[in-house]
Amino acid sequence: MTPARTRRDAFPVNWTARALWLALVVYCVYAAQILQITWSRFVIGMDQGATFLARMWPPNFGPQKLDLIIQGMLESLQIAFLSTAAGILLALPLGLLAARNLMPSPVCWGARGLIALCRTFHPVIVSILFVKAVGFGALAGVLALVVATLGFVGKLFAEAIEEISMKQVEAVRATGASFASVLIMAVVPQVMARFVGFGIYQLDSNLRNSTMVGIVGGGGIGATLFTAYQRFDYDVVLAILIVIIALILLFELISTQIRKVFQ
């Protein structure tokens, strides 16, 4: 026997929420149908996946392959370092131009438009265009990631500069300082720590992306990976994936240390 209800239900049923969850499920079924995702395909794939995994294991770290992997990885590192350095160098002035508190609004909107344009396209698409423009190889990858860096770091720089306290700026201006001095003495000290943080974050992200631009001809470990994949050398693919994950884990440890230094 249920006791008579003496107090209101603490957790009443939310019918709107339930209807929304139901709609979500219906959408999933509908979308799966559009994409021709069926259970039978999934089961066949599982079979296929077992053979695939069997061919991947054990990872092939043979001396010849290891040489290729190391070369590809070093090229990926080069791409990541150069694109981050060049990208940040270009993003500094661009971010400054896009800061609404320091720049007149037409300049600002122009710079913001450029930043938005850089952010719109995925690095892979940008690298396809650069591969056409400057040919296969690491340079196309570097240029593509410079564009990605400009879009991301430029936006963050602009936002960081917009958040600074204007008191210092006014104080330095009141001394009759030139615009360059205002920047160096009043703006840079306030944003430097955050800039270093953005730089490290972007280096991390460029390192991840540099493993991918090779798939479309932009150089680095991605090219090695794609070749191994196309030759069905799945054990080499696994070896490369392990190296990529290890490198990124290592870099994450290093970047936490760097962040601590700049706290």
- Positions touching another protein (CB under 8 A) are 11, 24, 27-28, 31-32, 34-37, 41-42, 45, 48-49, 52, 74-75, 77-79, 81-82, 85, 120-122, 124-125, 128-129, 132-135, 137-139, 142, 208-209, 211-212, 215-216, 219, 222, 225-226, 229, 234, 237, 241, 244-245, 248-249, 252, 258, 261-262
The distance of closest approach from Cβ of residue 205 to another protein in the complex, given in angstroms and rounded to an integer, is 10
| 231 alpha carbon, distance to own chain's centre | 29
The distance of closest approach from Cβ of residue 170 to another protein in the complex, given in angstroms and rounded to an integer, is 22
Using the minimum distance from each CB to another protein, give the nearer residue, 138 or 182: 138
Using the minimum distance from each CB to another protein, give the nearer residue, 154 or 222: 222
Tokens 């994936």 correspond to 241
The distance of closest approach from Cβ of residue 72 to another protein in the complex, given in angstroms and rounded to an integer, is 12
For residue 218, which phi and psi values (nearest 5 degrees)? -95, 15
| Three-class SS of 6-63 | CCCCCCCCCHHHHHHHHHHHHHHHHHHHHCCCCHHHHHHHHHHHHHHHHHHCCCCCCH
Q: How many CB atoms lie within 10 A of CB 147?
A: 21
Using the minimum distance from each CB to another protein, give the nearer residue, 174 or 253: 253
The distance of closest approach from Cβ of residue 180 to another protein in the complex, given in angstroms and rounded to an integer, is 20
Using the minimum distance from each CB to another protein, give the nearer residue, 21 or 170: 21
Using the minimum distance from each CB to another protein, give the nearer residue, 102 or 147: 147
Between the alpha carbon of residue 116 and those of residues 121, 147, 233, the distances in Å are 9, 11, 40
Answer yes or no: are the C-beta atoms of 213 and 136 closer than 8 Å.
no
The distance of closest approach from Cβ of residue 229 to another protein in the complex, given in angstroms and rounded to an integer, is 6
- Computed on alpha carbons and rounded to an integer, the radius of gyration of the chain in Å comes to 26
Q: What is the DSSP string of 181-229?
A: HHIIIIIHHHHHHHHHHHHHHHHHHHHHHHTTGGGGT--SHHHHHHHHH
Using the minimum distance from each CB to another protein, give the nearer residue, 177 or 215: 215
The distance of closest approach from Cβ of residue 132 to another protein in the complex, given in angstroms and rounded to an integer, is 5
